[in-house]
Amino acid sequence: MEKQLLAVEGLTVEYWARRGRVRAVDSVSFTLDRAETLGVVGESGSGKSTLGLSLIRLIPPPGRIIGGHLWLEGTDLLKLREEEMRNVRGRKIAFVFQDPMTSLNPVKKIGEHFVELIRTHEPKTGREEALRRAEKLLNDVGIQSERINDYPHQLSGGMRQRVMIALSIALNPSIVIADEPTTALDVIVQAKILDLLKNVQNVYAMALILITHDLSIALERCNKILVMYAGQMVEYASVENIYNKPQHPYTRGLLKSIPNIELAEQKLEAIPGSPPDLLNPPRGCRFWPRCPSSIGKCREREPQPVETEPGHFVRCFLHEVAGNESN
């Protein structure tokens, strides 16, 4: 049997700052199959970026992974040495950041970024060959090959994000993680970049983890969705189930806040309140202070994720079946 592409088990990440410890990712588990698209959705501060970066072990200090497993085709990435991990980044798992200017070097021509990346991983590849590959990759993302001689500031924001996508696929990785890849762009360019990601994903047969605060984008673009709240996975299911049978009150709240053109009479409702300070999360369920359906024990104990049907996980007492209760 072919090994699962990625299986994340109980991943837990903390930032040990002076003000205290923040558990930004708390025991998150999910799987990703080849060519699948997973959407990671949640409000600002819910731990989406920390989760994405921890998959390539690139969390900024003072962050550290304190528990869990990251199985990539059967190898636990958390057990690899840093030099082995460097081989995984880019070659197996690539990352597209929100702001291309943080990844592009302003004093280096576009082509040089490709030369450096390709030659770091494949030292036998000559400079000219790397540049020819850069031209082909740029063409694949809709950029003229002459642009290898431009500097990053000579390109528009949308073009820079295209360059980032071309760089991310340069080493033919099996997974691309895109963290809010379109937030800085206008709506039309946003849609084009998301279409491009889908297109390269198909052509290069990659899996994609799309991190976004916008549930409607994830519903439209992904196969599965993981909903994060205050560092925890509150619901994880197929897009169909998230849309048709959302089980967590937070997911339901997010769905109610999306404009739906099919429902002309729909009343948009924002979820009242704001997420907790992770330095001092509420006792019990992290969502109860904002939850319209909370019951007594939600304030006392923390619900654990339960699988309500195959592949559909929810962290909520309303769905906890007898026998699954921990105490």
Ligand X SMILES: Nc1ncnc2c1ncn2[C@@H]1O[C@H](COP(=O)(O)OP(=O)(O)OP(=O)(O)O)[C@@H](O)[C@H]1O
Site residues, ligand X (CB under 6 A): 15, 17, 22, 24, 42, 44-50, 60, 62-63, 213, 278
Smallest separation (angstroms) from ligand X to the CB of 34: 26
Q: Which is nearer to Mg ion, 17 or 203 (CB)?
A: 17
- Residue 284 binding result from ligand X, Mg ion, none, given CB thresholds of 5 to 8 Å by partner type: none
Among residues 37 and 49, whose Cβ is nearest to Mg ion?
Answer: 49
Q: Which is nearer to ligand X, 109 or 290 (CB)?
A: 290
User: Directed axis angle between helix 127-140 and helix 157-169, to 10°?
Assistant: 120
Query: Could you give the string, one character per residue 8-47, with x where binding to Mg ion holds by CB under 5 A and - elsewhere?
Result: ----------------------------------------
Q: Which helix (H) or strand (E) holds 204?
A: helix 187-204
Query: Which does residue 17 touch among Mg ion, ligand X, none (CB within 5 to 8 A, set by kind)?
Result: ligand X
Dump strand ranges (E) for 4-79: 6-17, 20-32, 37-41, 63-72, 75-76
Positive/negative CA dihedral, 184, 186, 189, 190: positive
Q: Which of 37, 49, 54, 294 binds Mg ion (CB under 5 A)?
A: 49
Could you please report the per-residue DSSP string of 233-278?
EEEEEEHHHHHHS--SHHHHHHHHTS--TT-TTPPP-PPSS-PPPT
Residue number, 15 or 288, with CB nearest to ligand X = 15
Nearest partner of 25 among 42, 13, 41, 37, judged by Cα:
13
Least distance to ligand X from the beta carbon of 115, Å? Answer: 31
CA atoms within 13 A on the CB side of 326: 11
- Residue corresponding to tokens 């798992």: 93
Residue 203's binding partner among Mg ion, ligand X, none (Cβ under 5 to 8 angstroms by kind) is none
CB of 46 to ligand X, least distance (A): 4
Least distance (Å) between residue 211 CB and ligand X: 7
Using the minimum distance from each CB to ligand X, give the nearer residue, 50 or 241.
50
Q: Using only the alpha carbons of the chain, give its radius of gyration.
A: 21
Q: Which is nearer to ligand X, 24 or 138 (CB)?
A: 24
Contacts 24+ apart (CB under 8 A), 14-17: 14/63, 14/64, 14/66, 15/50, 15/62, 15/63, 16/62, 16/63, 16/64, 17/62
Contact partner, 42, from ligand X, Mg ion, none, Cβ < 5-8 Å per class? ligand X
In whole angstroms, give the CA distance from residue 103 to residue 66. Answer: 27
> Any contact of residue 54 with Mg ion (CB under 5 A)?
no
Question: Computed from CA positions of residues 203, 208, 212, 216, in that sequence, does the dihedral angle turn out positive or negative?
Answer: positive
Q: Which is nearer to ligand X, 45 or 303 (CB)?
A: 45
> Shortest Cβ distance from residue 189 to ligand X (Å)?
20
Tell me if 185 sits within 8 A of 165, measured CB to CB. Answer: no
Quick check: helix, strand or coil at residue 187?
Answer: helix
d(CA 122, CA 283): 51
- The closest residue (CB) to Mg ion is 49
The residue count of the chain comes to 327
* Nearer residue to ligand X within complex by CB, 35 or 101: 101
- Judged by CB under 5 A, the stretch of 49-57, 134-142, 143-151, 291-299 that binds Mg ion is 49-57
Instruction: Select from Mg ion, ligand X, none the partner in contact with residue 246, using the beta carbon and a kind-dependent cut-off of 5 to 8 Å.
Output: none
Using CB under 5 A as the binding rule, whether residue 294 contacts Mg ion is answered as: no
Instruction: Report the interface residues with Mg ion, using CB under 5 A.
Output: 49
